[in-house]
Amino acid sequence: MKVIKSTIKLLRANKLLVVILLLTSGCTTSSYKVINHEGWLNELLVTPDRVSMECENLHTDDIVSYGFTLFVLDEKKTVLPVVQTNRIGESNCNERLRKIGKILKTGQRIYIAGIGDLEEPRKLREPSHFFPKHGTFMDNGRQLQFHAIANETGECFDAYSGSEKPCPQGHFPLKSTK
């Protein structure tokens, strides 16, 4: 009881410290927004808690390859897959998990560039995907082809040239890299 009273007394005496702690506590609201949409070229701005990723084993006829996919929880609580359309090897896929995982961990604003039709109606379907802070949600039937991902600190990964500069390459001037 004495500890609580002394803590309250200390906080009353240091109101400025309390205000500074509240302002710098790093609270962020979960968000999803389409910030650029030109035809089939799309740029999303999301918080990291709305992104998960997977390397799927696409083993067929003695050929082992992997497919890389980002899963993005949209504003309607449905899942938008952002797919790397070419097949890649296991080490390449694991490298993507590691490098993109770092982008997600070190950023609060995540920019994702992809090609696809976001005007298409949502059609809920299996599979469902789990997001630790939100729960499990179904695929929305839409899909983007993965082009690049970046955060506000400038860390970036391009689907075809990795972290090589300039990143991203091509026709996607991500907001974070301007």
Q: What global pTM score does this model have?
A: 0.79
pLDDT at 114: 95
Pick the closest to residue 152 from 103, 113, 115, 114 (CA basis).
103
Per DSSP bridges, beta strands 144-151 and 51-57 are unpaired
Q: What is the model's pLDDT at position 2? A: 56
What domain range includes position 84?
29-177
Q: Considering the domain boundaries, does residue 3 fall inside one?
A: no
Burial 11-41 (b: 16+ CB within 10 A, else e): eeeeeeeeeeeeeeeeeeeeebeeeeeeeeb
- Give dist(CA 102, CA 160) in Å, integer: 18
Q: Going residue by residue through the chain (178 aa), what tens digit of pLDDT does each one get?
A: 554 455 455 445 554 333 333 333 345 588 999 998 888 999 999 999 999 999 999 877 778 889 999 999 999 999 999 999 888 889 999 999 999 999 999 999 999 999 999 999 999 999 899 999 999 999 999 999 999 999 999 999 998 888 888 788 766 655 544 4
Inter-CA distances, 54 with 4, 14, 127, 159, Å: 46, 47, 13, 14
Question: Tokens at residue 83, please?
Answer: 């797919």
Helix (H, G, I), strand (E, B) or coil at 117: coil
Question: What is the reported pLDDT for 9?
Answer: 55
Please state, in angstroms and rounded to a whole number, the distance separating the CA atoms of residues 178 and 175. 6
> Domain tally for the chain?
1
Query: What pLDDT was estimated at residue 155?
Result: 93
Q: Is 8 part of any domain?
A: no
pLDDT at residue 85 in the model = 83
pLDDT of residue 61: 73
Residue 53 within a domain: yes
Q: Given this model, what pLDDT does residue 24 score?
A: 35
Give me the pLDDT at residue 164, please. 82
Give pLDDT, residue 28: 59
